[in-house]
Amino acid sequence: MLKLENLSVAVNDRQILHDVNLHIKPGEVHVLFGPNGTGKSTLIGAIMGFSRYKITAGKIYFKGQDITNLSVDERARRGIGVMIQRPPTLRGLSVREMVRICGKKHTNVEMLADKTNLIEFLDRGVNEGFSGGEIKRSELLQLMAQQPDLVMLDEPESGVDIENIAVVGQAANYILERGLRKNGQTIRKRRTDRQKSGLIITHTGHILEYVPADTAHVMYQGTLSCSGNPQEMLTCIHEKGYEECVNCAL
């Protein structure tokens, strides 16, 4: 689904990412851990193609094709979707209109809004006066409509209150078509002919209770340092901290 080859990225002429290699196969969900400022959001931004992230070396392949130089909207059309950390407020564009723009012709806006607890927000401007958690849910609502094949989530649970963590987790799972989960058990798997992939940045790992992930990576000082089982890696980070964790073989 996604392959990064020796990807290096600069922001404002400052080199942030160095030689990042990553391979996410169809149906796989990968998690990205790492301290603040290490380049996690930069990686997602570069994959999506936001112009502030300049690719200085390396290649991005999506579904086997080189997309390194494609525009954001072309990448979105090919099936990449992202939920960024701080999306802008769009005055004059309602959530309902935005969901219609993101979605296909027959998108059931009300049904998706219900799943994200956003029915009462449909006629408000996108993110206008929204709390942190409401912004996250509104982003997920747009992704539900877009139905991307590669879903990238930047800290989906941060700023979300306890009650809505489950809503966020279930929405993420819905987008990834990974089946409904409760207490760590898959209780219903959706039948699908498509194999969606995910890349999820998380500090807390709470999202892992809802979204089963296959592999985790630690990003440290702008490069991917180690990979392994998500739960084991989270335990390692909590016990030893990032610096020691990247030096130990899991």
Give residues in contact with Mg ion (CB under 5 A): 36, 40-41
124: exposed, middle or buried (Cβ count in 10 Å: 0-12, 13-18, 19+):
middle
Within 35-64, the residues that bind ligand ADP by CB under 6 A are 36-42, 52
Task: Considering the complex, state which of residue 14 and residue 105 has its C-beta at the smaller distance from ligand ADP.
Answer: 14
Task: Report the distance separating Cα 136 and Cα 6, nearest Å.
Answer: 31
Of 16, 109, 152, 153, which one interacts with ligand ADP (CB under 6 A)?
A: 16
Task: Report the distance separating Cα 231 and Cα 111, nearest Å.
Answer: 33
Task: Considering the complex, state which of residue 174 and residue 220 has its C-beta at the smaller distance from Mg ion.
Answer: 220
- Residue 11 touches ligand ADP, criterion: CB under 6 A: yes
Binding mask 18-37 for ligand ADP (x = CB under 6 A): ----------------x-xx
Task: Considering the complex, state which of residue 98 and residue 160 has its C-beta at the smaller distance from Mg ion.
Answer: 160
* Residue 195 DSSP one-character state: -
Task: Considering the complex, state which of residue 47 and residue 122 has its C-beta at the smaller distance from ligand ADP.
Answer: 47
* H or E segment to which residue 114 belongs: helix 109-115
Task: Considering the complex, state which of residue 40 and residue 196 has its C-beta at the smaller distance from Mg ion.
Answer: 40
51: exposed, middle or buried (Cβ count in 10 Å: 0-12, 13-18, 19+):
exposed
Task: Report the distance separating Cα 42 and Cα 106, nearest Å.
Answer: 34
Strand partners, 12: none
Task: Considering the complex, state which of residue 14 and residue 191 has its C-beta at the smaller distance from ligand ADP.
Answer: 14
- Nearest C-alpha neighbor of 49 from the set 26, 74, 19, 24: 74
39 binds, among ligand ADP, Mg ion, none (CB under 5 to 8 A by kind): ligand ADP
185 binds, among ligand ADP, Mg ion, none (CB under 5 to 8 A by kind): none
How many residues line the site for ligand ADP (CB under 6 A)? 13
Strand partners, 151: 81, 198
2 binds, among ligand ADP, Mg ion, none (CB under 5 to 8 A by kind): none
The site for ligand ADP (CB under 6 A) is made up of: 11-12, 14, 16, 34, 36-42, 52
